Amino acid sequence: MTRPDRPIAQECVEGYLYALPPVELLIFRRRPERGRIWVPIQGKVEPTDADFESALRRELAEETGLSGPRKVWSLDWHVPFEMDGALWRLHAYAVEVERAFAPVLNDEHDAFEWVPADEAVRRLHFEDNRAAVARLLERLPATSQSL
C-alpha cells in the first residue's frame, strides 16, 4: 500500500501509442529477462529532462525511434506505486501516430503489435495500464473510434 504523504523518489512517464480511425494501440512486449509482458512505452524522468512530456519524447525516441508523433497529450493520470521500498509515480500520455508506424525496438522489447483497444486491455499486464487505456478511450471523440 502506498502512503501519499511520502515524498516521490522517482517520477516516470508512459506513452500509449494509438492510431485513428478506428482506434488501435501499439503495445510492446518486454524481453524474457524483463518478464515477457505487454506494456506501453515507459521510462524514468531524468534530471536533464525539461518536463514530463520531454521525458516521454526522449523515451519514445530511445525505445521506438519515434521522433515526430502526430500529437502528444496528457491523460491526467498520475499513478503512485512502490518500487524497491520507495514511492515512484507514473504520468501517462496518449501519443497519436500514423498507423503505418513500425518502431525500431531497442533492447527493452522484443516485439510490438498494433491491436484494437479491447485486445490491448486484455494483453496489458498492469491494471493501471488497462485503466489508462480506458481513460484514453473516454477522451477520444466517439466518431474517431469507429470510422
pLDDT of residue 6: 86
Helical spans, DSSP H, in the chain = 52-64, 117-123, 127-139, 142-146
pLDDT of residue 29: 98
Cα angle 129, 96, 146; round to 5: 85
Distance between CA atoms of residues 27 and 30, nearest Å: 10
pLDDT of residue 142: 67
Distance between CA atoms of residues 63 and 77, nearest Å: 21
Instruction: Give the mean pLDDT of the chain.
Output: 93
Would you place residue 147 in the very low, low, confident or very high pLDDT band (cuts 50, 70, 90)? very low
Tell which wins on pLDDT, 58 or 141. 58
Q: Give the CATH number of domain 10-139.
A: 3.90.79.10
Query: How confident is the model over 73-79, as a mean pLDDT?
Result: 94
Please say whether the beta carbons of 146 and 20 come within 8 A. no
- pLDDT tens figures, 18-49: 999 899 999 999 999 999 999 999 999 999 99
SS3 of residue 31 by DSSP = coil
In the chain, where are the structural domains located?
Answer: 10-139
- pLDDT tens figures, 112-136: 999 999 999 999 999 999 999 999 9
pLDDT of residue 5: 74
